[in-house]
C-alpha cells in the first residue's frame, strides 16, 4: 500500500511539472535512449519483480505508434552517435536498446521492429548464446514458487519461503535473497555458488531456451535495422573487478562475436548503476574502441553528450512508461556520472 501511494504521488508530481513548459523544455532533452530487457506477455503467476523486466508486445506496438504520431523519430545508435560527434542539430529522437539477449527479443520483438521499421540494438551477453550463463533470478523465482506451499524444511532459504505463501511475501523474500546473491558475487556465472550455499536448488541449463542462440543472433544481424552490441561475457559487477579483469571479460566477448562474424561497435555496462560501475570505468570501453557505451542512469540526451559518448543515460521502458517520463526533473540536466 505504501509503495502504491508513493508511486501515485510521484506520478502526480510528474504530471504537474510536465505542465510547466519551461521546465519541460529544459529536461526533456533532444533525444532519449530506451532500455528494454524482455519482450513477452506478462505472466501474472510469476513474481512481479522478474516480470518487470518485460515489455508486453501490445504495449510496445502502441508505444511506437504513439511516439510516431507525436512527432518522434526512431534512430539507430550509429545515427545518434553520428549526430553527437558531428554536432548535427537533432530533436525528438528515440533509440531502442535491449540488454542481455533473450529469445523473446526475436520471437516477439523482432517482428514489431521490422513491421514498424524501427531500428534497435540488442546488447548481447555472450554467456547467453554460449549456454554458460546462470540466470539465477529465474532459478530463485522458480524455487520460491515451487516451495511456497510447505514441505520438508532442509535449509534457511526453504524455511523462509514455506512461511510466505502470498505472492507479495514471496517477492519480499526474493528481494532479500537477491540482495545476498548480488552482494556476494562478482558476475552472473559465479552467483551459482552463492545460490548453492543458500540452499536454492536449480539447474542453470533449464533456462537455456530463454536465450538467443548464435544462429538467432546471426539472423537478426542480417536486418539493416538491427545493431548487435557488446554486454560483456559474464555480466560482471565492474566495481568488484580490476580494470584488467573487466577488459579481459569484454575482450572474451569480442572474440566470441568475431568467431561468429560479428564486430560490435557499441557497449552497455552490466547493471550500469552508480553502485555497480562508477565513472572510473568509463574509459575502458572507449580505450577498447567502442563508439558508445550506455549506463542505466536515467536521463535525456543533449548535444553536450558528445563529450560523454561512453556514459550515455537511458530510460527503462516498461508497460507503465509514458513519453512524459522522458521529462524528469533532476539536479543535473546532463546526466553523465
User: Mind spelling out the 3-state secondary structure of 272-292?
Assistant: CCCCCCCHHHCHHHHHCCCCE
CA–CA gap between residue 237 and residue 93 (Å, rounded): 30
pLDDT at residue 29, as a whole number: 87
Strand partners, 186: none
Output the CA angle 303-71-32, nearest 5 degrees: 35
Residues 6 or more apart from 307 whose CB is under 8 A from it?
none
pLDDT at residue 275, as a whole number: 75
The DSSP bridge pattern shows strands 120-124 and 226-230 to be parallel
Residue stretches of the chain with pLDDT short of 50: 21, 149-154, 162-164
Q: Which three cell numbers stand for residue 127?
A: 554467456
pLDDT at residue 222, as a whole number: 98
CA–CA gap between residue 262 and residue 253 (Å, rounded): 11
pLDDT at residue 164, as a whole number: 44
CA–CA gap between residue 7 and residue 1 (Å, rounded): 10
pLDDT at residue 268, as a whole number: 97
pLDDT at residue 187, as a whole number: 83
Does the pTM of the predicted model rise above 0.75? yes
Q: Please give the domain boundaries of the chain with CATH numbers for all domains.
A: 11-131+211-326 (3.20.20.370), 136-205 (no CATH)
CA–CA gap between residue 317 and residue 329 (Å, rounded): 18
The DSSP secondary structure of 105-138, one letter per residue, reads IIIIIHHHHHHHT--EEEEE-TTTTTT----HHH
CA distances from 173 to 36, 42, 251 (A): 25, 21, 36
pLDDT at residue 188, as a whole number: 77
pLDDT at residue 315, as a whole number: 95
Ranges assigned E (strand) in the chain? 31-36, 38-39, 54-55, 73-74, 93-100, 120-124, 226-230, 266-268, 292-294, 315-316
pLDDT at residue 193, as a whole number: 87
Amino acid at each position: 500500500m505504501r509503495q502504491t501511494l508513493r508511486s501515485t504521488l510521484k506520478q502526480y508530481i510528474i504530471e504537474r511539472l510536465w505542465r510547466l513548459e519551461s521546465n519541460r523544455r529544459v529536461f526533456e532533452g533532444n533525444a532519449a535512449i530506451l532500455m528494454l530487457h524482455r519482450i513477452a506477455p506478462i505472466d501474472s503467476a510469476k513474481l512481479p519483480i522478474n516480470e518487470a523486466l518485460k515489455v508486453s508486445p501490445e504495449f510496445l506496438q502502441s508505444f511506437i505508434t504513439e511516439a510516431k504520431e507525436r512527432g518522434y523519430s526512431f534512430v539507430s545508435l550509429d545515427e545518434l552517435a553520428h549526430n553527437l560527434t558531428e554536432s548535427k542539430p537533432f530533436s525528438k529522437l528515440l533509440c531502442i536498446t535491449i540488454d542481455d539477449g533473450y529469445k523473446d527479443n526475436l520471437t516477439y520483438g523482432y517482428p514489431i521492429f521490422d513491421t514498424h521499421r524501427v531500428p534497435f540494438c540488442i546488447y548481447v551477453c555472450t554467456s547467453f548464446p554460449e549456454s554458460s550463463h546462470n540466470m539465477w533470478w529465474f532459478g530463485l523465482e522458480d524455487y520460491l514458487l515451487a516451495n511456497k506451499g510447505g514441505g520438508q524444511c532442509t535449509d534457511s532459504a526453504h524455511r523462509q519461503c514455506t512461511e510466505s505463501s502470498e505472492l507479495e511475501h514471496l517477492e519480499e523474500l526474493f528481494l532479500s535473497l537477491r540482495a545476498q546473491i548480488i552482494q556476494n558475487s562478482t558476475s552472473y556465472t559465479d552467483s551459482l555458488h552463492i545460490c548453492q550455499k543458500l540452499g536454492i536448488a536449480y539447474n542453470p541449463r533449464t533456462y537455456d531456451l530463454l536465450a538467443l542462440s548464435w544462429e538467432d543472433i546471426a539472423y537478426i544481424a542480417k536486418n539493416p535495422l538491427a545493431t548487435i552490441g557488446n554486454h560483456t561475457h559474464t555480466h560482471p559487477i565492474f566495481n568488484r573487478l580490476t580494470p584488467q579483469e573487466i577488459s579481459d571479460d569484454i575482450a572474451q566477448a569480442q572474440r566470441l562475436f568475431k568467431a561468429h562474424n560479428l564486430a560490435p561497435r557499441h557497449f552497455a555496462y552490466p547493471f550500469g548503476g552508480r553502485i555497480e560501475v562508477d565513472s572510473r570505468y568509463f574509459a575502458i570501453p572507449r580505450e577498447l574502441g567502442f563508439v558508445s557505451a550506455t549506463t542505466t542512469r536515467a536521463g535525456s540526451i543533449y548535444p553536450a553528450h558528445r563529450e560523454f559518448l561512453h556514459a550515455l543515460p537511458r530510460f527503462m521502458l516498461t508497460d507503465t512508461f509514458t513519453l512524459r517520463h522522458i521529462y524528469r526533473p533532476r539536479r543535473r540536466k546532463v546526466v553523465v556520472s
